């Protein structure tokens, strides 16, 4: 599998599936979640998400991509940072693992991930990036290309550093 760091807009990635850093209600929100809902078409995506009945932290569920280039959106619910001793690392790793499992179920060969939980959920960027890279590299999958899409330069540099070591 090829894993690449990309600096840019996750909604503009030419991949089979885009992972959304979602909330448990799959209701759309700020950051990546809001951007994906706006780019995909908020009403259509919201209707599809409502049919899924929410999603537990650490899990992932898929909808069509609607207005995105991506055929699917995989909604992964990351943990809120609560100091690091409440199982956050396991839940975050589960988001990446479950997203790849859902991608396999869909037949997706390329997937773009945001930095799950590092925005409003407050997960420390360095630890989150390490968990993302380690989990993706150690998860058996049929996915051939993974893009770690960084919205900011600092996150992009973290991904680059981890992938080059």
- Kindly list the catalytic residues: 33
**What is the arrangement of strands in the sheet containing 2-7, beginning at the earlier edge strand?**
2-7, 145-150, 110-113, 17-22, 72-77, 60-64
d(CA 108, CA 128): 24
Instruction: Identify the H or E element spanning 64.
Output: strand 60-64
Is the separation of the CB atoms in 15 and 110 below 8 Å? Answer: yes
Tell me the three state secondary structure of residue 110.
Answer: strand
| Alpha helix (H) residue ranges in 4-124 | 31-40, 42-52, 88-106
């Amino acid at each position: 599998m090829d894993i690449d760091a990309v600096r840019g807009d996750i909604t503009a990635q030419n991949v089979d599936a885009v992972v959304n850093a979602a909330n448990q209600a799959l209701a759309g929100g700020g950051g990546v979640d809001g951007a994906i809902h706006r780019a995909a078409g908020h009403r259509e995506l919201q209707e599809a998400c409502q049919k899924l009945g929410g999603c537990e932290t650490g899990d992932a569920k898929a909808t069509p991509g609607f207005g995105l280039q991506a055929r699917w959106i995989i909604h992964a619910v990351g943990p809120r940072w609560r100091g690091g001793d409440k199982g956050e690392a396991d839940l975050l790793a589960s988001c990446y693992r479950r997203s790849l499992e859902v991608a396999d179920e869909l037949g997706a060969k390329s997937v773009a991930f945001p930095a799950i939980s590092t925005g409003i959920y407050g997960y420390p960027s360095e630890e989150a990036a390490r968990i993302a890279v380690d989990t993706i590299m150690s998860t058996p999958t049929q996915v051939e290309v993974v893009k770690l899409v960084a919205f900011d330069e600092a996150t992009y540099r973290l991904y680059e550093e981890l992938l080059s070591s």
